[in-house]
Amino acid sequence: MAATLKSLVRSGRLVGGTLLVECVTPGIGHILGAAGAEFAFLDMEHSGFEAETVKAGLRFLEAGGVPAFVRVTSRDTHDISRIADIGAEGIIVSLVDNGAVAKAAVDALKYPPLGRRGVGLSLSHDNFRSPPTPAAALQAANDRTVLALMIETAEGVENAEAIASTPGVDLIWVGHFDLSTSLGVAGQFDHPKFRDATTRIAAAARKAGIGLGRLVNSVPEAEQAWRDGFRILAWSGDAWLIRDGLAAGLGGLRSMAERLPQPNG
């Protein structure tokens, strides 16, 4: 049986996955599973994915035993709760700058008494099963779902403790490019401003006893993230992995053709 997203976030060990911004196909769950990915980050913010694509993608990933986060398009209640209703085990909310925004996200994802999500049972999110009791179904959904909040602005750094300590928050995800840009050091991930911000966010997550995640694109970047306390790491994304893998292969072919003599005939 595949691990749940919540158990992975709470495990305290390295959990590796990848970002999906382009390739949501019937085989994607099995492809990621065969590669050893433990989760997928299905992104609606920087892709053309609509709700129907996400709904299908979640089933494709489920078939391969790969639990998924979905980054929703806004912080609005209807966007968060709708994507949860169609089956997202984890929700990622961008640009969380303070505790009030964090609490609103909890309200949108979690059922009473923890939140204020509108009740819809026997739907995609519970595999259309009839619950033993409504109360049991609401509790099970609250226990199962994972809320990840992105800190990616200077304001978010200042309020990191308030965000991380909000009841119902499971994971802080650092949006490293946006954060560096907000700090005035775009793309300078070794800059003291970015390093200090990362340290503050990591300390807030550790104090709250919740997970910490981010995207990485190289082993040195991953090593630094690991030392900082990140345990949920997305290794690059589908579009870039295809591009870079193909570029490396084609480069090897062309190098081979230049290096070896051309056969006669």
Q: What domains can be seen in the chain, in order of their start residue?
A: 5-237 (3.20.20.60)
46 in catalytic set:
yes
Instruction: Using DSSP, state whether 105 is helix, strand or coil.
Output: helix
Residue 130: pLDDT band with limits 50, 70, 90: confident
Per-residue pLDDT averaged across 206-210, rounded?
98
Catalytic residue (one of 30, 46, 125, 176): 46
What pLDDT digit, counting tens, does each position of 5-48 carry? 999 999 999 999 999 999 999 999 999 999 999 999 999 999 99
Rounded to whole angstroms, the Cα distance separating 71 from 94 reads: 7
- The dihedral of CA 175, 49, 102, 144: what is its sign? negative
Of 14-23, 119-128, 204-213, least confident by mean pLDDT is 119-128
Amino acid 101: pLDDT:
98
How many Å from the N-terminal Cα to the C-terminal Cα in the chain? 57
SS3 97: coil
Q: What is the DSSP string of 121-158?
A: -SSGGGTTPPPS-HHHHHHHHHHH-EEEEEE-SHHHHH
Q: What is the per-residue pLDDT across 136-186, written as a single tens digit (0 to 9) for each?
A: 999 999 999 999 999 999 999 999 999 999 999 999 999 999 999 999 999
Q: What is the largest CA-CA distance in the chain?
A: 78
Q: What is the mean pLDDT of residues 71-94?
A: 96
pLDDT at residue 97, rounded to an integer: 98
pLDDT of residue 265: 55
